[in-house]
Structure 1
Amino acid sequence: MRLRSLSKNLLLRVLLAIVLGVVLGVFFPEWLARVFMTFNGIFSQFLGFLIPLIIVGLVTPAIADLGRGAGKWLAVTAALAYGSTVFAGMLAFLVARTSYPWLLGGHASLSGLENPEDHALSGYFEITMPPVFDVMTALVLAFCIGVGITFVHGDALHRGFGELRTIVMRIVEKIIIPLLPVYIFGMFLSLTMNGQIALVISTFLRVVILAFLMTVVILVIQYCVAGLVTRRNPFTMLKNMLPAYATALGTASSAATIPVTLECTRKNGVDERVAGFTVPLCATIHLSGSTMKIVLFSLAIMTISGMPINTWQYIGFIFLLGVTMVAAPGVPGGAIMAAVAILQSSLGFDETAVGLMIATYVAIDSFGTACNVTGDGAIAAVMDRMLKRKDGQLRNAPSVPAA
């Protein structure tokens, strides 16, 4: 209930912030607008400081958790989830690169995104908050410590990083998420006062429609693969998962939807023990819909801002994104907060580009979550088939991993 309330609150406040930013930007005095630009500058610096800590605090215990509990079947489930997530990102990349030249090609370049200092309003002062270490250092450190914890017999270090995860998530929930609407308001206020808002809105409406269509395509592909493996009708399986899809639309949280996802998965003939193992795990590590949205919106921003798009560099970004999604906090907007680090380090996104990513992602967050949750049922069906082939009557079915 708390997550559902947070989701609705955040979505409404973000939409209200966008509308107010567009409307008030028409007649807002510059001196007052600079107050919000000052806040945006401080908030952006704090976010940059926090990002490496978010990575270490969330990725480390997530990797450590994956190394315990169910052995090789946990690894197989994680591999399937990661493969599905990366596939969704690659498919979105191919679709965007094919369609954006004509879908967005008629638009003038939004140069203010590429060089915001030449166009955006400036704040009254700045406060510099350099991060403790850079993003790549944080990723390598989190991976090394997370894997290392799985070889340590004691659990003190594991519990310590679990507590660090709690601290980081509280900062995200209590500080970052509540202040996001103010940040987004200031950004759209600046875009309106600089005469760039019409291009931004017309561009992202097209991308939002494309994202909805891609959600359907990804789910159909996932269930066609699951249907081939399990020899069941993929569209019947997909139909059985509709209650989970609808619930995720309302909660914008994979974790809050787990009970419904479990019930729908069982209707598809998946053994209760397999469902109880794969669904909670995939709710954390399988984010195909979220990855698809991040790829579509990031490429749209790069296209309209004139940023160079290097194919191999972007493919590397997708593989990194698949790993980073494991660290996404279980709150609405958590996936984009976890992805901010590599958007900046791998793609060179600036403050305005990151703000647009956050605003557009949160605005349709529940649709990505619904895609994630529904896809979990396909992975559960594949795992059920693999375990039955291996163990006959599921004598060695894995138990539910510890949260």
Structure 2
Amino acid sequence: MFAALARLSLVTRILIAIILGFIVAYLFPNTAAYVSIFGDVFIKALKSVAPILVFVLVMASIANFKVGQSNHQLRPILMMYVVGMVFAALSAIFASLAFPSTLMFTSATDIALQPPGSVTEVLKNLLLSFISNPVTALHEANFIGILAWAVGLGTALRHSSETTKRVITDVADAINAIIRIVISFAPVGIFGLVVATFAQAGLETLENYAHLIIVLVATMAFVALVINPILVALVMRRNPYPLVFKCLKESGITAFFTRSSAANIPVNLDLAKRLGVDEATAGVAIPLGATINMAGAAVTITVLTLAAVNTLNIHVDMTTMIILSVVSVVTACGASGVAGGSLLLIPVACGLFGIPSEVAMQVVAIGMVISVLQDSTETALNSSTDVLFTAAVDLAKK
């Protein structure tokens, strides 16, 4: 039985875990106190590995960016990546305001929260977090400080020797291997979380999760079918939808099932070649996009963070939400290439509102529960956008 389960995809195993969790919670609600240990251990593992993951992956990504890249088409493609992510994050903000979501926490009520009182206080906390000691930032899971040091060290190491960059890349690969091990236990952890949550909240949790999934998927669909076509139309000066639908069909569908932008790079390169994109341009822009172009991740981080803020009754004004969109874009660029990688960056955005790491990691765990649809849709949006924007800039020039 275990061998048969091991051969199933992670998505299938998570689906099975969710179904079993609901059945156990419904038939044996008294077992929740014992089964919840699996969820607690899973959250603890996520909490332990998340700080070093953010630090190493972001540093490696920046350090290995080619210095003096002369491809003149790379800059407008990068600009489209950034603009697309910003509008994706803003779309997520408006979707969250129009259809606010709430989450079910198991221990949030035991934590005394001190939300920021004004934008000035938010900016002050942000600045103090940025200049935190790196060791302290890692120890206290100060993700904003970790991100700042990762960007700084990555930028400084761009001019280092190839041997040094190779070591950094190897360390990043090792961290990714550990992440894959942790994620592989997601079905067990989610089983415990589902049993504990459903036994406590019942069908109300199902309604909340359904609402959250609809908001996430609908926002990503809006980005793919409205925001991206508008950007492509501005660049190409013609009807963008034939190119948009072709990229969604040949890149997005594949990415939906692989749930990995990195694994979808060969598919995108082949599609770009068939679209007539310059191979030198595609060879740089598409792999880079698989690393930093994460519009779907920006949507996920923004929606789940605002859901946590709404659940905890933290007042947030529009200026702070705009700051959140910028933070979401920056953190999304450091999302891991493994399934559910963007979820581990949610604590960065939660830290902007003074939400403790313990609560933020519960948000991550909830994200893992809905990741069957969320992560697949997110990856489809991310990967199809890579080839879409690359082709738009190159074909517009031609």
Query: Contact (CA 8 Å) 1:43, 1:183: kept in 2 or not?
Result: yes
Task: Indicate whether 1:44 and 2:29 are aligned.
Answer: no
> Structure 1 116/181 Cα, relative in aligned 2: closer, same or farther at 3 Å?
farther
- State how far apart, in whole Å, the 2-side matches of 1:42 and 1:139 are: 25
Structure 1, residues 251-288: CA drift from partner, whole Å, max 9, x if none?
Answer: 11112222222333344443333222212211111111
Would the alpha carbon gap of residues 181 and 114 (structure 1) be closer, same or farther in structure 2, given more than 3 Å must change? same
Q: Are the structure 2 counterparts of residues 41 and 113 from structure 1 closer, same or farther at C-alpha, using a change threshold of 3 Å?
A: closer
Cα distance in 1 for partners of 2:342, 2:205 equals: 22
Partner of 1:281: 288
Mapped to 2, the partners of 1:210 and 1:8 lie a distance apart of 28
Range moving further from structure 2, 78-87 or 140-149: 78-87
* Residue 208, structure 1, aligned to residue 183, structure 2: no
Alignment of 1:261 with 2:268, yes or no, is yes
Greater CA drift, 230-239 or 307-316: 307-316
**Is 1:150 aligned to residue 158 of structure 2?**
yes
Other-structure match for 2:129: none
Aligned match of 2:183 = 177
Q: How does 1:96-107 map to 2 (within 5 A)?
A: 96-100=96-100
- Note if 1:17 corresponds to 2:17: yes
Matched, 1:299 2:306: yes
SS at match of 1:309: coil
Candidates 361, 364, 367, aligned match of 1:357: 367
Q: TM-score, normalised to structure 1's length? A: 0.79
The runs of 5 or more residues in structure 2 that have no matched partner are: 113-136
- Measured after TM superposition, the shift of residue 67 of structure 1 is 4.7
Alignment coverage as a number of residue pairs? 362
Deviation for aligned residue 1:173? 0.7
* CA 111–167 in structure 1, closer or farther in 2 if over 3 Å, else same: closer
Distance in 2, matches of 1:116 and 1:268, equals: 56
Equivalent position amino acid for 1:57 in 2: V
Contact kept in structure 2, 1:285 and 1:325, CA below 8 Å: yes
8 Å CA contact 1:215–1:289 kept in 2: the answer is yes
SS in structure 1 at match of 2:52: helix
Deviations 1:284-303 (A, max 9, x none): 11111232233233333433
Partners of 1:29 and 1:370 lie apart in 2 by 37
Partner of 2:88 in structure 1?
A: 88
**Equivalent residue for 1:189?**
195
* Whole-angstrom distance in 2 between the partners of 1:215 and 1:110: 23
Deviations 1:352-397 (A, max 9, x none): 33311222234431111111122123321343257x4xxxx8xxxx
Maintained 8 Å contact 1:51/1:340: no
Cα shift at 1:306: 3.4
Q: Helix, strand or coil: the match of 1:253?
A: coil
> Structure 2 length as normaliser, TM-score?
0.80
Identity %: 24
- Rounded to whole Å, the distance in 2 between the matches of 1:64 and 1:7 is 36
Distance 1:156 1:164 in 2: 12
Counterpart Cα distance in 1 of 2:298 and 2:153: 25
Are the equivalent residues in 2 in contact too, given 1:226–1:381 (CA < 8 A)? no
* C-alpha deviation, 1:116, in angstroms: 5.8
Deviation per residue, 1:125-166 (Å, 9 max, x gap): xxxxx95353233112111110001233x2343222212101
For the pair 1:346 / 2:346, whether they are aligned, the reply is no
Flag the 1:6–1:96 CA change in 2: closer, same or farther, 3 A: farther
| Aligned-partner Cα distance in 2 for 1:7–1:344 | 36
103, 110, 115: which one aligns with 2:109? 115
1:251 matched to 2:243: no
Which residue number in structure 2 is paired with residue 125 of structure 1?
none
Per the alignment, do residues 371 and 168 of structure 1 end up closer, same or farther by CA in structure 2, a change over 3 Å counting?
Answer: same
**Letter of the 1:9 counterpart:** S
> Any stretches of 5+ residues in structure 1 without a counterpart?
119-129, 394-403
Deviation string 1:300-359 (CA, Å, 9 cap, x unpaired) is 34334534434433433332222222322222212222x143144234161433311222
Q: Distance in 2 between matches of 1:40 and 1:246?
A: 31
Whichever residue aligns with residue 82 of structure 1, its letter is V
Shift of 1:25: 1.3
Contact 2:99 2:215 in 1 (8 A): no
CA deviations 1:200-251 (Å, max 9, x no partner) are 2112213323333323321232123212312332011113211112111221
Contact 1:111–1:305 at 8 Å: present in 2 too? no
* Residues 52 and 138, structure 1, Cα contact 8 Å, conserved in 2: yes
Mapped pair 1:313 → 2:320: yes
Partners of 2:228 and 2:246 in 1: how far apart? 14
Is the CA contact 1:333–1:362 (under 8 Å) kept in the aligned structure 2? no
1:329 aligned to 2:336?
yes
- Whether contact under 8 Å (1:15, 1:363) holds in the other structure is no
**Pick from 161, 168, 171: which aligns with 2:168?**
161
Aligned partners of 1:336, 1:305: CA distance in 2, in Å?
19
What is the DSSP-based 3-state SS (H/G/I as helix, E as strand, rest coil) of the residue aligned with 1:364?
helix
Which residue of the partner structure matches residue 136 of structure 1? 144
Partner of 2:134: none
